[in-house]
Chains A and B, each alone.
Chain A
Amino acid sequence: MEIDVKRIAHLARIDIDPQDEKVVAGELELILARINKLFEVDVEGVPPSFTLGEAPVDLAEDVPHESLCRELVMECAPSVHNGYFKVPRESQGV
């Protein structure tokens, strides 16, 4: 199967040098060829496993509790304005 690296990279929001697209596609296709061995396994009627625990996930009570220090967390951000994360506009000219 041919992989459209440009499309996948756009979905993953990763800038890839157009010159590298072919190399990356080749590497992914090699891995995919191996992954295709999964089609040799008979999985008819077998349910999928997404997690390992038998018990249901232990959800926390919906009550307020102490969390990380807001100032410390914001200090880690590349750009902050009035206590909020600051990002560029969605698109230019809007």
Chain B
Amino acid sequence: MEIWGMPVRDILKYITSGEISATEVLECYLNAIREADPEINAFIDVLEPTARMDASRVDALLREGDSPGPLAGLPVAIKDNICVKGARCTCGSKILENWISPYDATVIKLLRDQGAVIVGKTNLDEFAMGSSTETSAYGITRNPWDLRRVPGGSSGGSAAAVAAGMAPLALGTDTGGSIRQPASFSGVCGLKPTYGLVSRYGVTAYASSLDTVGPFGETVWDCALLLEAIAGHDPLDATSAAGEPAAYTKRLEGSVRGLRVGIPRELLNGVSAQVRELFDNTLSTMEDMGMIVEEMSIPPVAHAVEAYYVIAAAEASSNLSRFDGVRFGRRAPAGTLDEMYTKSRGEGLGKEVVKRILLGTFVLDSGNKDRYFMRAARVRTLIKREFEKAFDNFDLIVSPASPDVAFKIGEKIEDLLTMYLADLITIPVNMAGLCALSMPMGFVDCDGAALPCGLQIIGKPFDEPAVLKAGYLLEQEIEAGIREEVSSMRRKLNPVRECELVD
């Protein structure tokens, strides 16, 4: 039986029936990491010893006839800004190079309680600030579809790990598109949950009014499964929403006939011709499935990027003040307390992070707060209101998940504004606290490589069931071609397979 490349649903079925063990599944993925990661650099740390213990625990429970939980033995890769007890949590930064987390984030506790195997910590833009995974202090992550290109960011390591078959599932964080854009660039599914649905306790804060934690998977079903495991109220996170989350995997089937789908013109500005063509084809498929697709407008969205960079930078400047060399992380030798703060931060934080902290400090400085921060917060109200109005007339809103396919390494790192503006498609969802799925919709030929491109399906707050259902049913229509391309890409990355067959 070939484990590698097997759908997550089947892996789960065979583990729980005892036909394969969690340990065999883990070893198969560890082999894939050994083969492919030297080229891709998706992982900062692979947690081999503890992952083996997790897998043995699952196998022992199954042998005794107990249930290990709904994620029985599934390896999950974790973005390295989420705390895993006993493992480093670097956030892609030198300042936390040797910091080992003394506790599990709530999402990690939930995964462990449900039988998941924590396989490793994945690379990210430093403190999740970036769209390419190029600003990590632990090297650039490469896109498995074309190693000359970025995997997107900031959760580029998690997206690349799933794309290359180094982990069947992964967790990422999304503050302005950091799950959806890398999912699009890397040809996998990623979901940004509604603000408050998933606990952020134990997740390094970037911009607290925007940060969310969400799943990556190969398919929409995989994302629904992982979301089911991590969603729910957490008393340790004051912004955690009350109420029971839905059984997402059980609400995927049915019909989407008659569903009203809006296409905001503002989110199509700057979309490349090739991506637009794919998007239009996808809209035709959605119409064939009975959805009613209509162009519409959400004018304040045009200013979402500007408002986002003020709010996110302001919150980051406050949140990252904790990295001062006192309680954790790197401390520079210094004679006075003030010198210790400034040197520890100057030496430990990277260029992009420093820039955003300075921008945040500037917009919060006396005299600037009303001019910039308060104005951005008012624009945010307008964005929220307009989305509320839009959802009176539409069940879902869709757009491409990124204006173009993955760009080349180094191509945009010096052109900050272009990089920032490329996030226009994803940022409004965070500004309004909505949920959104990014799923592959096809491929674009670029320099001899087939590069994936994602569709974004946006839903009302807490309407993940509708978003996932539409994505799942659409996936059935377009999946076949996508699976073939994925298999062919992975075979190129992993020429030697040592752990394919299990009797």
Q: Assess whether A87 is in contact with B102, with CB atoms less than 8 Å apart.
A: no
Q: Does B379 contact A (CB under 8 A)?
A: yes
Q: Does B27 contact A (CB under 8 A)?
A: no
> A40 to B372, alpha carbons, bound, how many Å?
13
Q: Assess whether B336 is in contact with A28, with CB atoms less than 8 Å apart.
A: no
B102's partner among A48, A53, A72 (CB-CB below 8 A) is A72
Q: Assess whether B417 is in contact with A8, with CB atoms less than 8 Å apart.
A: no
Interface residues of A in 58-94 (CB under 8 A from B): 58-60, 68-69, 72-73, 75-79, 85, 87-92
Q: Assess whether A53 is in contact with B338, with CB atoms less than 8 Å apart.
A: no
CB within 8 Å for A87 and B335 given contacts A8-B365, A40-B303, A46-B381: no
Q: Assess whether A85 is in contact with B300, with CB atoms less than 8 Å apart.
A: no
Q: Assess whether B346 is in contact with A14, with CB atoms less than 8 Å apart.
A: yes
Q: Which residues of chain B have C-beta atoms less than 8 A from A51's C-beta? A: 209, 239
Q: Assess whether A38 is in contact with B375, with CB atoms less than 8 Å apart.
A: yes
Q: Which residues of chain A have C-beta atoms less than 8 A from B433's C-beta? A: 52-53
CB within 8 Å for A49 and B310 given contacts A14-B342, A28-B355, A58-B240: no
B379's partner among A11, A38, A68, A73 (CB-CB below 8 A) is A38
A48's partner among B309, B339, B381 (CB-CB below 8 A) is B381
> A82 to B330, alpha carbons, bound, how many Å?
21
CB within 8 Å for A15 and B417 given contacts A28-B358, A38-B310, A85-B326: no
Q: Which residues of chain A have C-beta atoms less than 8 A from B334's C-beta? A: 88
Q: Which residues of chain A have C-beta atoms less than 8 A from B99's C-beta? A: 76
Interface residues of A in 1-52 (CB under 8 A from B): 3, 5, 8-16, 24, 27-28, 30-32, 34-41, 43, 46-52
Q: How far is the CB of B366 from chain A (nearest CB, A)?
A: 10
Q: Which residues of chain A have C-beta atoms less than 8 A from B432's C-beta? A: 52
Q: Assess whether A15 is in contact with B343, with CB atoms less than 8 Å apart.
A: yes
> A55 to B378, alpha carbons, bound, how many Å?
19
Majority SS of interface residues in chain A? loop
Q: Which residues of chain A have C-beta atoms less than 8 A from B149's C-beta? A: none
A-B contact count (CB 8 A): 176
Q: Which residues of chain A have C-beta atoms less than 8 A from B390's C-beta? A: none
Q: Assess whether A88 is in contact with B358, with CB atoms less than 8 Å apart.
A: no
Give the contact-size bracket for chain A. 35 or more
Q: Which residues of chain A have C-beta atoms less than 8 A from B361's C-beta? A: 8, 11-12
Q: Assess whether A68 is in contact with B195, with CB atoms less than 8 Å apart.
A: no
Q: Does B337 contact A (CB under 8 A)?
A: yes
Q: Which residues of chain B have C-beta atoms less than 8 A from A27's C-beta? A: 355, 416
Q: Assess whether B336 is in contact with A46, with CB atoms less than 8 Å apart.
A: no
Q: Assess whether B381 is in contact with A47, with CB atoms less than 8 Å apart.
A: yes
Q: Which residues of chain B have C-beta atoms less than 8 A from A72's C-beta? A: 102-103
Q: Assess whether B417 is in contact with A46, with CB atoms less than 8 Å apart.
A: no
Q: How far is the CB of A53 from chain B (nearest CB, A)?
A: 6
Q: Assess whether A77 is in contact with B346, with CB atoms less than 8 Å apart.
A: no
Q: Assess whether A13 is in contact with B242, with CB atoms less than 8 Å apart.
A: no
Q: Which residues of chain A have C-beta atoms less than 8 A from B329's C-beta? A: 78
Q: How far is the CB of B362 from chain A (nearest CB, A)?
A: 5
CB within 8 Å for A50 and B377 given contacts A8-B365, A37-B303: yes
User: Scoring B residues 445 to 484 as 1 if CB is less than 8 Å from chain A, else 0, what string do you get?
Assistant: 0000000000000000100000000000000000000000
Q: Assess whether A41 is in contact with B300, with CB atoms less than 8 Å apart.
A: yes
Report the nearest B residue to A89, measured CB to CB: B336
Q: Assess whether B380 is in contact with A88, with CB atoms less than 8 Å apart.
A: no
> A47 to B374, alpha carbons, bound, how many Å?
9
Q: Which residues of chain A have C-beta atoms less than 8 A from B305's C-beta? A: 34
Q: Which residues of chain B have C-beta atoms less than 8 A from A77's C-beta? A: 326-328
Q: Assess whether A31 is in contact with B417, with CB atoms less than 8 Å apart.
A: yes
Q: Assess whether A41 is in contact with B303, with CB atoms less than 8 Å apart.
A: yes
Q: How far is the CB of B231 from chain A (nearest CB, A)?
A: 16
Q: Does B253 contact A (CB under 8 A)?
A: no
User: Scoring B residues 323 to 363 as 1 if CB is less than 8 Å from chain A, else 0, what string do you get?
Assistant: 01111111100111111111101110100001101110111
The 4 closest A-B pairs by CB, nearest first: A15-B346, A48-B377, A52-B433, A78-B331
Could you pull out 15 A-B pairs where Cβ atoms are within 8 angstroms? Answer: A12-B345, A12-B358, A13-B341, A16-B354, A32-B359, A34-B309, A38-B310, A49-B378, A53-B196, A68-B103, A77-B328, A79-B331, A85-B327, A89-B335, A91-B336
